[in-house]
Structure 1
Amino acid sequence: MPRNSFEVFSRRQFLAGGAALIGSSALAQSDDEQAFDPLRPPPEPEPPVQRNISAFRAKSWRPYFDNLRNGAILVDIDSRALHYWSANEGTYKLFPSSVPLSDDLTRRGRTQVVRKVEGPSWAPTPNMRKRNPEWPAYIPPGPDNPLGTHALYLGWKYYRIHGTHDTRKIGRKSSNGCIGLYNEHIAELFSLAKVGTQVLLI
């Protein structure tokens, strides 16, 4: 075999062998990365997200209230929406909301606005402290307050419709029982609702 031919052949053998070695190394690394580690099991698959866009639409107050005396607020937990009607039917508002994390934290039924606070302070309930002992006992009004800029206190103890500085929560199951709105929306609702406004959570 001529010298030049041998050199070409040897070079080809080297390149092919090197490629095979690199390929087998990459495969081994891939297998190691995918191997099951009993100390670090794979994460549970996330449940499918239920889309609720079709449910986020205007509603009539009549199926839910006998009248609009003092105005009315309807919170639809499933569609994560809050509806407001003024007493004279001249104003209707529809806002996206956050809702409780789980069914055991969710309360449904009729109540009313019993107090309005601009710049609310916040303290966790006894049950919250049990679940989260690291939480502070009190947070004054301000950017760190989980109630945002305004709060409507309901007739049920510890339940409120309030704002939030964490806008990621809106449209999600993210609260410990309250209903959350964007700060600009709760400010608008705060100006419309009054003490005595009817509230229904469904």
Structure 2
Amino acid sequence: MHGFTTFRGDRGRGVLLRPTTAATAILARCLLWALLALAGIAGQGAAQAADPGPANLEPANLEPVGRSIAISLADRRLYLTDPDGGTRSFPVAIGRPGVPIPVGDSSIKRKRRDPTWRPTANQRRDNPALPRAVPPGPNNPLGRFALDLGWPAIAIHGTNDPDSVGTRASGGCFRMLPADIETVFAAAEVGMPVRVVRGALGGATPELPASRPAGTVAVAVKTAPPPPLAAPVSAVAIAKPPEPPPAPVADPRCATMTAPLRRMICDVPALAFLDGRARGTQDRFLAGIADPAARAGAAYELIQDERRFHERIAALCWIRSGTEGDPAVAAAAQSCLATALDRRLNDVTERIASLRGGTRIAGQP
């Protein structure tokens, strides 16, 4: 019979057990390996508890935030926030004076490519000449892309009147330039949150590029300006004072004009003043052209520009026969027309600059 040989001390306690067979020796080694393995696992767990790694992060913290849109009525801009936190902004046209503009939270309910425009009942009541529907094409005021929002008859869309973008000109929707709405349309998804606020969102903060990672803040480092350089005496001698703005010139046709838009301009002094500034700039330009044929050609171009301006603004501001009979409608039309006339001075200045290239001006080579 196999067994163990036991050595006892002076107190009778067993101090050594020696296996007397090969099987018991193998069993002892297995027990030793098991104890060592358990000790290693315990040490690894303690190390992980002392130094937590990425495996301890909450899964929710690793999920990127989706895209969203915010529109500021004060800025007249749309801000598109990307999943990485970068923000791009685009100019928009908002509702003209007197038109209610929705404010608050909504979302994109539908995406429409090459949409058909169907005027609302109120729009057709105010302007019976409007058709029931306008198919896709250059005459469609929605442009090529439209994002319908949760508010009835309100959308973010393109336009066939790019000059109106950045102004108060729409019927409550948010108009964008053709290239900008194409960018936003490609990034938008049904269900994307949209928030419209009255206050400013941009302020003096520069726009964040789409490639900037979330949480990155641009820091402007101020450096001491270089010491001013003394201006040469010759430069001071030939410096010219700034040219004063041209004096407004009244429209000589006011006594006989019957068109609703021209009558509104002639009858409202503030509008007549704004219109007169552009007219004064034109008259000063034409008076400086020495060649009669060139002067007549430039005058014709400016008259055509004015005619196109009147046609567009009369429809944009809904100025028609009988507008002056409703005080609220007349006030909204006058406010819209004031904005358009204020911008027209810049348009006339740019148009004159383009005409100078092919026109011989008196006093110039």
The amino acid across from 1:162 in the alignment is H
Aligned to 2:80: 84
The secondary structure found in structure 1 opposite 2:166 is coil
Offset at residue 105 of structure 1 (A): 2.3
1:72 aligns with 2:68: yes
Cα shift readout 1:177-200 (whole Å, capped 9, x = no counterpart): 000000100000001111111101
1:120-131 matches, within 5 Å, as 120-131=115-126
1:137 aligns with 2:132: yes
1:16-31 matches, within 5 Å, as none
Query: How many residues of Structure 1 are paired with residues of Structure 2 in the alignment?
Result: 134
Cα distance in 1 for partners of 2:131, 2:74 equals 31
Cα shift readout 1:80-127 (whole Å, capped 9, x = no counterpart): 1000012342x4210011000025421111100011011111000111
The amino acid across from 1:82 in the alignment is L
Cα shift readout 1:47-82 (whole Å, capped 9, x = no counterpart): xxxxxxxxxxxxxxxxxxxxx854111111121100
Greater strand proportion: 1
Contact 1:69 1:197 in 2 (8 A): no
1:184 aligns with 2:174: no
Cα shift readout 1:9-66 (whole Å, capped 9, x = no counterpart): xxxxxxxxxxxxxxxxxxxxxxxxxxxxxxxxxxxxxxxxxxxxxxxxxxxxxxxxxx
Contact 2:99 2:171 in 1 (8 A): no
Cα distance in 2 for partners of 1:70, 1:113 equals 14
Structure 2: tracts of 5 or more residues without a match: 1-63, 198-365
Aligned to 1:148: 143
Aligned-residue CA RMSD (Å): 1.4
Among residues 135, 151, 159, which one is paired with 1:164 in the alignment? 159
Identity fraction in percent: 34
Who wins on radius of gyration, i.e. which is larger? 2
The amino acid across from 1:149 in the alignment is R
Aligned to 1:33: none
Structure 1: tracts of 5 or more residues without a match: 1-67
Aligned to 2:88: 93
The secondary structure found in structure 1 opposite 2:134 is coil
The amino acid across from 2:80 in the alignment is Y
Cα distance in 2 for partners of 1:122, 1:69 equals 34
Aligned to 2:196: 201
Query: Using a 3 Å threshold, how does the CA distance of structure 1 residues 200 and 180 change in structure 2: closer, same or farther?
Result: same
Query: Using a 3 Å threshold, how does the CA distance of structure 1 residues 201 and 103 change in structure 2: closer, same or farther?
Result: farther
Query: Using a 3 Å threshold, how does the CA distance of structure 1 residues 70 and 129 change in structure 2: closer, same or farther?
Result: farther
Cα distance in 1 for partners of 2:65, 2:99 equals 31
Aligned to 1:65: none
**TM-score, reference length from structure 2:** 0.36
Quick one: higher RCO (CA 8 Å, sep 6+), 1 or 2?
Answer: 1
**TM-score, reference length from structure 1:** 0.63
Query: Using a 3 Å threshold, how does the CA distance of structure 1 residues 122 and 148 change in structure 2: closer, same or farther?
Result: same
Cα distance in 1 for partners of 2:98, 2:189 equals 28
The secondary structure found in structure 2 opposite 1:168 is helix
Structure 1 runs (4+) greater than 3 angstroms displaced: none
